Amino acid sequence: MANFNTHFSAAAVQSGMIATGLLALGHIEPAEATLCFVLGTAGGLAPDLDAERSTPVNIAFSVLAVLLAFASVFAVANRLSIAESVILWLVLYVVTRVAFAHLFAAITVHRGMYHSVPAALLAGVLTANVLHALFAQTAFIATLYGLVVSLAYLQHLALDELVSVNITGRRIKRSFGTAMKLFDRRNYFTTALTWALLAVAVAVAPDPRPLLDLFVQQDLLGAFRGILLPEGVWFNGLVSRP
């Protein structure tokens, strides 16, 4: 599989590009772009949390705990005092880094259904559900964040599959096919459970139509081309005074 640095960098770049593009187009605010970047980066690290306890996995859990804690605090920051935000951050960090890490290690098997396409979709839908139901995010923003998480998760799986193929040596590693899978032949129960959880999560998910309308009704590519290059002098917006 690809290493921690590769997954972290790839997820950060992908999420950063999505957040920057939507911010430049005016569809999200700076705070929403920051949260989009944080959640996407976390989603790109999530698939390897089922690996055996090792230094990279411990680092991944620590980074994920920090990202999720900040993401949660950012989502409700305007409703809390600084003291409440700090306490909430510490509680979420400890719960994710300690309690969740030990529970997750006990119930998962490396490269099981947690490392699969339906798990990637489930991660995104659950993100949208939690943000919409518990943090009062709009259906548009919650669905957007969920989509970013799923895309980063899928990118992680795709990278793992790519490194399973040694093109120069013309051989395929035994791990090939264990990441981008729809079911686990070793455990049909977890396969059925994962798909069942996904079905339930989708059934109670926020309305995706506001986000779909963004892609269907608007020329995103044309709008992006309009802001891709500056008009006139480069970096004029940084040096000129309003």
Rounded CA separation 218/27 (Å): 11
Lowest average pLDDT, out of 26-30, 194-198, 203-207, goes to 26-30
Rounded CA separation 221/164 (Å): 34
Q: Is the pLDDT of residue 53 over 70?
A: no
Rounded CA separation 117/181 (Å): 6
Q: Is the pTM of this model over 0.85?
A: no
17 against 221, higher pLDDT: 17
Q: Is the pLDDT of residue 145 over 70?
A: yes
231 against 195, higher pLDDT: 195
Q: Are the beta carbons of 150 and 121 closer than 8 angstroms?
A: yes
Judge residue 21's burial from the number of C-beta atoms within 10 Å of its C-beta, 0-12 exposed, 13-18 middle, 19 or more buried: middle
**What is the DSSP secondary-structure string of 150-213?**
HHHHHHHHHHHHHTTEETTTTEE-TTTTSSS-S--TT-HHHHHHHHHHHHHHHHTSPP-HHHHH
Residue-range domain boundaries for the chain: 4-239
Neighbouring residues of 151: CB distance < 8 A, sequence distance ≥ 6: 14, 18, 40, 43, 124
Share the mean pLDDT of the chain: 82
Neighbouring residues of 195: CB distance < 8 A, sequence distance ≥ 6: 118
236 against 23, higher pLDDT: 23
**What is the DSSP secondary-structure string of 25-51?**
HTSS-HHHHHHHHHHHHHHHHGGGGGS
Q: What is the pLDDT of residues 54-89, one digit of tens each?
A: 555 677 778 778 888 888 888 787 888 888 889 999
Residue 18 pLDDT level (bands cut at 50, 70, 90): very high
Per-residue pLDDT averaged across 78-105, rounded? Answer: 84
